[in-house]
Amino acid sequence: MADKIRKGILLILGLLWLLPVYLMLANAAKTNDQYGVVSVWQAVGASGLFENVSQAWTRGRISEGIASTALYSVVAPALAVLIGAATGFAIVALRLKHGFFWFVVIFSATVFPLQMLLMPLFIGYVETGLYDTRTGMILVYTVISVPFAAFVMRNFFTGVAYQVFEAAVMDGASTWRIFWRIYLPMSTSALVAIFILQATLIWNDLLLGLTLTQSSETRPVMTALSALQTTYGGSTMPTVLAGGLIVSIPTVLLFLLTQRAFTRGLALGQF
Contacts of 77 (CB under 8 A, 6+ apart): 141, 145, 194, 195, 198, 199, 202
As a whole number of angstroms, the distance between CA 45 and CA 64 comes to 29
Show contacts of 20-28: CB within 8 Å, 24+ apart: 24/241, 24/244, 24/245, 25/245, 27/237, 27/238, 27/241, 28/52, 28/53, 28/238, 28/241, 28/242, 28/244, 28/245
Provide the residue count of the chain: 271
- Whether the per-residue pLDDT at 259 is higher than 70: the answer is yes
Of residues 203, 197, 205, the one with CA closest to residue 261: 197
What does the mean pLDDT of the chain come to? 83
User: What 3-state class would DSSP assign to 137?
Assistant: helix
With residue 94 as reference, give the H or E element that holds it: none
- Whether the per-residue pLDDT at 142 is higher than 90: the answer is yes
Q: Are 219 and 209 in contact (CB under 8 A)?
A: yes
As a whole number of angstroms, the distance between CA 261 and CA 36 comes to 43
User: What 3-state class would DSSP assign to 111?
Assistant: coil
- Packed helices 62-92 and 237-257: angle between N→C axes, nearest 10 degrees: 40
As a whole number of angstroms, the distance between CA 138 and CA 135 comes to 5
Of 8-12, 39-43, 61-65, 91-95, where does mean pLDDT reach its minimum?
39-43
Helices (H), the chain: 2-28, 49-59, 62-92, 99-107, 114-128, 134-158, 162-170, 175-178, 184-186, 188-203, 207-212, 221-227, 237-257, 259-268
- Whether the per-residue pLDDT at 27 is higher than 70: the answer is yes
Identify the residue with better confidence: 59 or 240: 240
Q: What is the dihedral of CA 4, 7, 11, 13, to 10 degrees?
A: 120
Average pLDDT over residues 233-242: 74
Identify the residue with better confidence: 87 or 56: 87
What pLDDT is attached to residue 234?
A: 59
Terminus-to-terminus CA distance in the chain, angstroms?
32
pTM of the model: 0.85
- Whether the per-residue pLDDT at 207 is higher than 60: the answer is yes
Q: Are 199 and 207 in contact (CB under 8 A)?
A: no
Task: Tell me the domains of the chain and their CATH numbers.
Answer: 48-268 (1.10.3720.10)
